[in-house]
Amino acid sequence: MKFGKEFASQMVQEWQEAYMDYNYLKTVLKDILQFKKRNPSTPKASTSQGSLKRRVSLYRAFSGLTSRHRSSPKKNEDEVILVNAVVQQQEEESERHYQTMFLMSSEMGGECELLFFRRLDDEFNKVINFYKKKVEAVMEEANELTKQMDVLIALRIKVDDPLMEFNGSDPRNISSNGASSPSATAAHSINARKPGLSHMDAIQEVEMSSEGNLEDEKQEDHIEKACEHSKSKGNKVEIKGFRRASLDILNHVKINVTPETPVSTLKGILMSSNSDFSFSRKELRKAEQQMTQAFIEFYQKLRLLKSYCFLNQLAFSKIMKKYDKITSRNASKTYMEMVDSSYIGSSDEVTRLMERVEVTFIKHFANGNHRKGMDTLRPKARRERHRITFSLGFFSGFSLALVIAIIVLVHARDLMKNEGRTQYMENMFPLYSLFGFIVLHMLMHSANLYFWRRYRINYAFIFGFKQGRELGYREVFLLSSGLAVLALAGVISNLDMEMDPRTKSFKALTELVPLGLLTVVLLIILCPFNIIFRSSRFFLLQSTLHCLCAPLYKVTLPDFFLADQLTSQVQAFRSLEFYVCYYGWGDFKRRSNKCKESGVFQTFYFIVAIIPYSIRFLQSLRRFVEEKDAMQGLNGLKYFSILIAVAMRTSYDLKRVMTWRIIAAASSGVATMAATYWDIVIDWGLLQRNSKNPWLRDKLIVSNRSVYFVAMASVLHFHLVGMVLNVVLRLAWMQSVLGFTETPFLHRQALVAIVACLEILRRGIWNFFRLENEHLNNVGKYRAFKSVPLPFYYDDDEDKDI
């Protein structure tokens, strides 16, 4: 693999604008190469000059055969560039700006090389400035984690109520580079709560005055043995050189309670969000969990920042070697010496901080187990398994064979003209269409995962999946094909459209196949065992619970993204309602039901359609209150207009008055236009008149701009005659209002299913560009990490005491 592709593959996508533009510098070098090819006199001049250098070198002083370093200074004829660091005075601080002076600009083609070094300096200064800002940010975060650790250790001591007392030196700071600091992790757990020890035998929290070398480790082991020996005798231990963490810090700190559950949300509304300590083990466990997650995220930042530094240094080395090869000069050594002496080459803050974080995490959160601690800190790469690919091919082929079998069976028996066709479509088709909607949605999601990965959209970070636990397109495709096999097998078992002439009834066993299949799917989703992607199933269940309890849960992107998917599965929810009616109220043994005649069924038929939009409305309302974002308020109005449209349509169906019919059509039209505009302009960020890409946006991930216009056309238009696709999909429930409830070639249930499938397809297209826009927003703000709430809160006035 060429370095350019490897460089791009290892970039942090949210920081890609901050990396050295390797491809652009390569194009500049190609221009230099093309110029030299068009002017063959240039190499001759360099050759003659090279021969002159060799003649002069014959008279240089001999440095000896065994000398490793030349002590003689460079001669003028060897120098190609001079790199100077110019100090620029900014508003608040001064920073160094590197400038390269090209000494051969008078030669033919020197202007092109001069341009190369100007662009090279711009890229280098960009990298230096970005790296400095990130290092300063992580150092500030390290100081914050240090203060949090002070409180955590004090809380541990307060909860455990230890017997040992320590007097002596100060603890060390997490962000220190080797010197002791009183604002550090005030004490170190001499580890760990061993099984069999009583509550009063809890190991105390102390911190060694100097860590990291062998003598300190031996000293710590000696102290541990002394502590255990003294405790076994019931003596009180005092060790010089150590001091117990001060508990005074707890007087200035409160638990940082974030509303994560409906109960905590209601408590936050009724009382202060920052509660006082009760010094309970529950609070300690919660704080330890939050601090563990904070350290993991912080360590990931440091790893990526170190990788950013290394990759850019390597990129500058590669581009300078290419320059030397094309121009037959020797400028890379001088330039790389400058790179090595610069901040990005000489700074070791990140490396030292990583080592400090590793030591702290292993001691305080892994009970001194180095392997366990490092396994927790380091991200786990997801392994590709061959059995998934094999199973995917097997189930896909099986489902395709079943589809062909159904088509052949319908054609051979001429079932489309059978007398039981209407009865089958009214009773069995809604039951199996539920699985068709789910399978289609999963297939679209699988395609989205494939294209997100292909275009390097960091969907795992955006959705907040655990490292290495996110599902790929193969896994989702496998699940969808497996469900399709089960559903299609059930369809074949129920594909009898004539009643038994002797009993005038169907077999009850085959009528229970759809219900059994639905039960199996629900049991798999709720299965507590670690099978069939348990972490992803639980993540889905958690997001579903957050949606159903809106607005009591804090709204995150996975929650409102799932709620948007639910708005496209209204027909699936109605199929679930039909399950209750068919097997509870209807005579499923005779394949008949009177659901449509029930007023309760009709009422819930419309309530089910309102629920997904109500969830999105409540989520937008909570985000508007919390974030004070006017756009969230407008988004809530959009969903409120859809709710009004559904209510007007319900009123028309109940009263069948022309006035309600007009109001229903008008409100639905307004809601559809508002939703379509919001999808394209706000969610996708397209139709920007003054952008670099006309009527699109400045940054595009897909290089072919026509893809975006086709996507917008697929949302806006469905038929060649220009019928707006979004209107047709969002007005699917207005079939009775518009008067096309039945067609001569399609049953009404089939038409409803087709329109529902088109809505799912539209949602699949929306998903890709919605997440693309979210990814670009993260890139524009360099947001490559999720924010982790810290467990403790303190006032700024008390900061000096902490």
Residue 521 pLDDT greater than 70, yes or no: yes
Residue 15, domain member (yes or no): no
Q: For 467-481, what is the mean pLDDT?
A: 89
Q: What angle do CA 184, 189, 194 make, to 5 degrees?
A: 165
601 within domain boundaries: yes
- Answer whether residue 440 shows pLDDT above 90: yes
Q: Is 363 exposed, middle or buried (0-12, 13-18, 19+ CB in 10 A)?
A: buried
- Report the percent of the chain where pLDDT is more than 70: 71
Q: Is residue 479 part of a domain?
A: yes
pLDDT at 489 over 90: yes
Residue 578 has pLDDT above 70, yes or no: yes
Which of 203, 190, 206 has the alpha carbon at shortest distance from 153? 206
Min mean pLDDT across 272-281, 296-305, 676-685, 693-702 is at 272-281
Predicted confidence band of residue 595 (pLDDT cuts 50, 70, 90): confident
What residue numbers bound the domain in which 396 lies?
386-780
What is the C-alpha separation between 123 and 131, in angstroms, rounded?
12
Measured CA to CA, the distance from residue 370 to residue 350 in angstroms comes to 20
Element (H, E) at 89: strand 81-89
> What span, in angstroms and rounded, lies between the C-alpha atoms of 237 and 612?
63
Which residue(s) pair with 592 in the sheet? Answer: 587
What is the total count of domains within the chain?
A: 1
pLDDT in tens, 282-311: 888 888 888 898 898 899 899 999 999 999
Instruction: Give the SS3 label for residue 753.
Output: helix
Asked whether the beta carbons of 240 and 223 are under 8 A apart, the reply is no
CA dist 206 and 242 (Å) reads: 7
What is residue 275's predicted lDDT score, i.e. its pLDDT? 52
54-97: per-residue pLDDT in tens? 444 555 555 555 544 444 444 444 566 777 666 665 544 556 77
Query: Average pLDDT of the chain?
Result: 76
Position with higher pLDDT, 751 vs 89: 751
How many residues does this entry show for the chain? 802
Tokens linked to 317: 């080395």
- The whole-number average pLDDT for the span 203-232 is 45
Distance CA 597, CA 694 (A): 54
pLDDT of residue 180: 37
pLDDT for 46 equals 43
What is the number of alpha carbons within 13 Å of residue 563 lying toward its C-beta? 25
765 CB neighbour count, 10 Å cutoff? 20
pLDDT of residue 724: 40
Domain contains 307: no
Residue 317 is assigned to a structural domain of this protein: no
Whole-number pLDDT of residue 89: 53
CB 585 within 8 Å of CB 598: yes
Q: From CA 508, how far away is CA 779, in angstroms rounded?
A: 58
Q: What is the pLDDT of residue 228?
A: 52
Q: Is residue 252 part of a domain?
A: no
Q: Are 632 and 623 in contact (CB under 8 A)?
A: yes
pLDDT at 799 over 50: no
Percent residues over pLDDT 90 in the chain: 26
Q: Which residue has the higher pLDDT, 20 or 176?
A: 20
Query: What pLDDT does residue 233 have?
Result: 52
* pLDDT tens digits, 163-212: 444 433 344 455 554 433 433 333 333 333 333 333 333 333 333 333 44
pLDDT given for residue 356 in this prediction: 93
HEC string of 373-413 equals HHHHHCCCCCCCCHHHHHHHHHHHHHHHHHHHHHHHHHHHH
Residue 564: which pLDDT band, with cuts at 50, 70 and 90? very high
Token representation of residue 549? 């309890």
Contact in structure between 139 and 191 (CB atoms under 8 Å): no
Residue-level pLDDT at 655? 63
What mean pLDDT is predicted for residues 333-343? 89
Q: In what order do the strands lie in the sheet with 274-275?
A: 274-275, 253-256, 792-794
Q: How confident is the model over 234-263, as pLDDT tens digits?
A: 554 444 544 556 677 777 777 775 556 666
- Using the predicted structure, report yes or no on whether residue 401 has a pLDDT greater than 80: yes
- Note whether 316 and 335 are within 8 A (CB): yes
